[in-house]
Each structure stands twice: as structure tokens, then as C-alpha cells.
Amino acid sequence: MIIYFLWQSFSNSYLSQKKIKYISFLELNLYLSNMGSAASKRQDWLIQTLDDHESGINCMALSNDNTVLATGSDDHTIRLWSTKTTPIECLSVFSGHMDYITDMLIYENYLVSGSADKTIRKWEMTTGQCMFICSGHEALVNRITCTGN
């Protein structure tokens, strides 16, 4: 079964305003077949809830092959989740930022994260090691974009 996170119209600002502390995974095909149906019930779509973060989730990134989901939180950590397992399990926790995570992206085997601690960090996803810290910003890092190598 292919599992997707139903992102719908949520934005990073919506997530941080609502202080969401968990993520629910839904079967996309079931959701689409029930859209607009008065008989559809949200609890029928729920596959699993992930609630391991200690504080609100601010951002998420999904790997290109859809097998790894990364979540960044107010608890200053990033968690990697395997979407290949049932139930979905936490693969690792990246710690090192001194303030909440604002944005992240996955590029090849790396995760790049921005934080309110005014740094950008590049992580090796298989080992969880921080490979590089870009510091010197005068304010929090709002967005990260990767344009290639």
C-alpha cells in the first residue's frame, strides 16, 4: 500500500500557528474516492499518527522516492521516518540546532535544515552527522531552496 501524507492546503505558517504535534498518514486513493461524499468519515482514512516530537511541527520534507519523511519541530530536533514500514517508524533524530526548525529539504542523501538559531545545517541522512554549519545570518532562516549541485 502506498502511503502519502495529506498535505492539502497546509502551509508552514498554518502548521506553526496550530502547534501541530503529530502527523497523520492517509491512504490517498481512499481519500480521493471519498472527497465530496457525505458518507465519508475522516477516521476511516487514518492509518497512523506520529506523535514523537515534544513540541509543534513546523515543517516537513519528503524524499524523492517517497520512502523517507523528515519533520522539523519547535523541540529543536528533526526526525526521519520510514514510510516503507507498517507501522511507520522513526529512523533517527537529528539534534544540534539551538532553536526551532523553520524549514528543510532533502536532496539526494542529505537533509538541509534552517532554524531560528540563525544557522543552516547540512546533514548526512544515513549517519545523522552534521556535515556543515552555515552561520552568520542576523535573523532566523525562513526558507531553504536547493538549485542543484
Residue 17 lies in a domain: yes
Judge whether 149 lies within some domain.
no
Domain that holds residue 123: 4-134
pLDDT of residue 6: 37
| Residue 47 zone, left/alpha/beta (φ > 0; ψ -120 to 50; rest) | alpha
The answer as to whether 140 is a domain residue is: no
Q: Is residue 146 part of a domain?
A: no
Tell me the CATH number at 110: 2.130.10.10
- Show pLDDT as tens, one digit a residue, over the chain (149 residues): 233 343 333 334 344 444 445 555 544 444 444 445 444 444 556 677 778 888 888 999 999 999 999 999 999 999 999 989 888 899 999 999 999 999 999 999 999 999 999 999 999 999 999 999 999 999 999 999 888 66
Q: Would you say residue 12 lies in a domain?
A: yes
73 part of a folded domain: yes
Residue 107 lies in a domain: yes
What gap in Å lies between CA 57 and CA 79, rounded to an integer? 10
Query: How many folded domains does the chain comprise?
Result: 1
Answer whether residue 139 is part of any domain.
no
